[in-house]
Chain A
Amino acid sequence: AQSVTQPDIHITVSEGASLELRCNYSYGATPYLFWYVQSPGQGLQLLLKYFSGDTLVQGIKGFEAEFKRSQSSFNLRKPSVHWSDAAEYFCAVGAYSGNTPLVFGKGTRLSVIA
């Protein structure tokens, strides 16, 4: 079974600074990988996904993520954070074989300060 670790529970960055949120997964084959964002009081929204091909994927709101097989990682990045990016971010992994649902990490809460 697959699993996901998001090592950082809470991160604070200054507006305009760069951002990297870490995600490590455990799965025996190439997984499907996702990042979702949850604004306060809302459901989750898909930011980006990786299924195959180019390991650098672009998403909405200026986010990108890079799949690194050797490190079992799928870190989320943004070059310049905006105050509206304050939210909780979830990494998720899906198995390529079988039909089991996504497994989510425990999330990283992002705070943005002026």
Chain B
Amino acid sequence: DVKVTQSSRYLVKRTGEKVFLECVQDMDHENMFWYRQDPGLGLRLIYFSYDVKMKEKGDIPEGYSVSREKKERFSLILESASTNQTSMYLCASGTSGRAGANVLTFGAGSRLTVL
């Protein structure tokens, strides 16, 4: 089975800190995604990547950046954390081909609290 591992399940950070959320997948998937999940808002796409060093903005990229230096690793960076970035962050990977046909495998999530 494909595994998507998010390095931190729970984080507490201070406003203004730089935050790194790491995600690693072990099945050689081309595509990787970062979503944010908030009650009543569902999943919203922050960034995605189709290949190493490639990145595309999703629906809510403001305040975030990403890095994909290796195929298996996709990092989400909060340059200066703010309280409105308190949320659950979900990483997913998907097979290559049309993104719309991707069957996504999700990590367990990283719950970030910004104080």
Interface positions of A (Cβ within 8 A of B): 9, 31-32, 34, 36, 41-46, 49, 51, 90, 93-96, 98-102, 104-107
Q: State the interface size on chain B (CB cutoff 8 A).
A: 25
Kindly identify which residue among B48, B90, B100 contacts A98, using a CB–CB cutoff of 8 Å.
B100
User: Measuring CB to CB, which residues of chain B are less than 8 angstroms from any residue of chain A?
Assistant: 4, 33, 35, 40-43, 45, 48, 50, 58, 90, 92, 98-109
Candidates A36, A41, A90, A99; contact of B98 at CB < 8 Å: A99
Q: How many A-B residue pairs have CB under 8 A?
A: 69
Cβ contact of A106, chosen from B4, B35, B41, cutoff 8 A: B41
> Can you give 16 contacting A-B residue pairs, CB < 8 Å?
A9-B40, A42-B108, A42-B109, A43-B90, A44-B43, A44-B104, A49-B103, A94-B101, A94-B102, A96-B101, A99-B99, A101-B45, A101-B99, A102-B99, A102-B100, A104-B42
7 closest A-B pairs by beta carbon, nearest first, are A94-B100, A43-B106, A106-B42, A95-B100, A104-B43, A44-B106, A99-B99
Q: What are the residues of chain A within 8 A of B102 when measuring CB–CB?
A: 94, 101-102
CB distance from A70 to the nearest CB of B (A): 22
Chain B's nearest CB lies how many Å from the CB of A104? 4
Contact call B50/A99, Cβ cutoff below 8 A: yes
Contact, CB under 8 Å: B98 / A94: yes
B100 and A101 contacting across the interface, CB-CB below 8 Å: yes
